[in-house]
A and B are shown apart, each in its own frame.
Chain A
Amino acid sequence: MSDPERVQKYLQQSHDKIFESNRKWAEEQKAKNPEFFEKLSAGQSPEYLWIGCSDSRIPAEAITGLGPGEMFIHRNIANLVCNTDLNVMSVVNYAVRHLKVKHIVVCGHYGCGGVKAAMTPQDLGLLNPWLRNIRDVYRLHEDELDTIKEDGPRYDRLVELNVMEQARNVIKTAAIQQAYKRDGFPIVHAWVFGFNDGLLKDLKLDFESELAKIQKIYNLPS
């Protein structure tokens, strides 16, 4: 068999595998609960919005034990929330104003390739503007980060500070400030996932006091 043929066969197999797995999964759900898909078909009312990294190792629903219909999800490189990014802002808007989610979790992870790439002195072309946001987080917290001498722990801390900063960026939006004032939710959380133990760590962002601090400058009342 020639090489392109082998590649083709391999790709066809991995492709078939996805459909095969999907069918198996759907049958299992129906066996457990015959109305499972009918109910989902009626609509979604998730309690959570998850903003996480695109990293393949952190499927949000799987690591939190949630099923279909429970968590609205946006994932991008290094879980960034940039105020000029219409993509993430549309997700936040829809989740808060239309789905009325109760909790927004911004979740980063240790060993994030995006964070590491951002701190590598190298021209990454198309990725430069996106990753620049992480360098900006570094600059905001330069004094603290510079005291950490070893690379590993310094990246870990930058991952945490990045999540905190992105959670703040969520709080800076009109959607959050107005919904919170009216309904008392959503609450924004900053979490980090660790591959060493598979556990989520709460960075304990104090939502109320962060909101108050942020509104001193970024106040967007209705």
Chain B
Amino acid sequence: MASYQDPLDRIVAGNRVYAQHTTEQDPTAFVELSKGQAPEILWIGCADSRVPETTVCNCRPGDIFVHRNIANTVHADDLNAASVVEYAVAFLKVRKVVVCGHTKCGGAVASLGDADLGVTLNTWLHPVRELRRKHKTELERLLDDDARAVRVAELNVHQSLDVLKQHPAIKKAINERGLSLHGLIYDIGQGQLRLLEETSSKKSNGLWSPN
């Protein structure tokens, strides 16, 4: 049994180990990192602690530019996410934008009902709850709330992608340099990513269906 360690000491110690290992493996690692970043991917994911993007994708620092919020939701009027997108797409020129939802998402589960979560969270989740209302019949046919939450998470990823497609920097980058958008679902119980098929009738950029 591990002995008790103060949670703060633990991450400070974890950071020391990280810095040491990184330097041991590559003495110039931090010199390279301090020169700048050129990530290829912008990841918009859930704040959920069980979906740390760099870890689950087995990537390294410098690979993925990240925005994480409650239920990986992109609202058209949200300046926080819009600023991340603008910076990543217009300035860093990432090549892909990924929206990743996940199974067992607290935000998706909360959106299956209308329980009062306080005015802040109620407002934030409102568009996700609206999705549930819009797809009521389809959701009711599903086996249980677990399946319904996964479906709501999927619908929410698609909705976020639709909002992103209207972002001026994204529109421009799709036309000018072939930026692509992708929806993913991370299965917490399996630890695996699943690619969502494009569902809207809107013209896809066709990158993942070259045939």
| Interface set of A (CB-CB < 8 Å, partner B) | 4, 7-8, 11-12, 14-15, 18-19, 21-26, 29-30, 36-38, 40-41, 43-44, 46-48, 54-77, 80, 82, 85-91, 93-95, 97-98, 102-103, 105, 111, 113-114, 117, 125-127, 129-131, 189, 195-200, 202
Contacts and interface: CB of A to CB of B under 8 A. Distances in A.
B68 interface: yes
A11 B121 contact: no
Chain A interface mostly: helix
A190 to B, nearest CB: 13
A25 B57 contact: yes
A97 to B, nearest CB: 7
Nearest to A59: B54
B11 A64 contact: yes
A77 B78 CA distance: 13
A66 B56 CA distance: 12
A12 B207 contact: yes
A118 to B, nearest CB: 11
B83 A76 contact: yes
Q: Which of A8, A75, A77, A87: most chain B Cβ within 10 A?
A: A87
Given A14-B95, A22-B58, A87 B17 contact: no
Contacts of A131: 83
B47 A56 contact: no
Contacts, number: 247
Contacts of A71: 49, 52
Given A94-B106, A198-B30, A56 B62 contact: yes
A98 B19 CA distance: 33
A15 B96 contact: yes
A19 B118 contact: no
Contacts of B59: 18, 21, 59
Interface string B1-45: 000000110011111111100110000011101100101110000
Interface stretch (B137-145, B147-155, B156-164, B184-192): B184-192
A86 B67 CA distance: 14
B70 interface: yes
Contacts of A47: 7
Contacts of B111: none
Given A12-B210, A89-B120, A64 B15 contact: yes
B48 interface: yes
A105 to B, nearest CB: 8
Interface of B: 7-8, 11-19, 22-23, 29-31, 33-34, 37, 39-41, 47-59, 61-70, 75, 78-84, 86-88, 91, 95-96, 103-104, 106, 117-118, 120-121, 123-125, 168-169, 178, 180, 182, 188-193, 195, 207-208, 210
Contacts of A40: 50, 188-189, 191
Nearest to A189: B8
Contact of A56 (B29, B64, B120): B64
Contact of B79 (A130, A196, A197): A130
A48 B47 CA distance: 12
Contacts of B57: 18, 21-22, 25
B168 A26 contact: no
Contacts of B19: 197-199
B53 A59 contact: yes
B96 A68 contact: no
Contacts of A97: 118
A111 B41 CA distance: 20
A14 to B, nearest CB: 6
Contacts of A105: 11
B58 A199 contact: no
Contacts of A43: 104
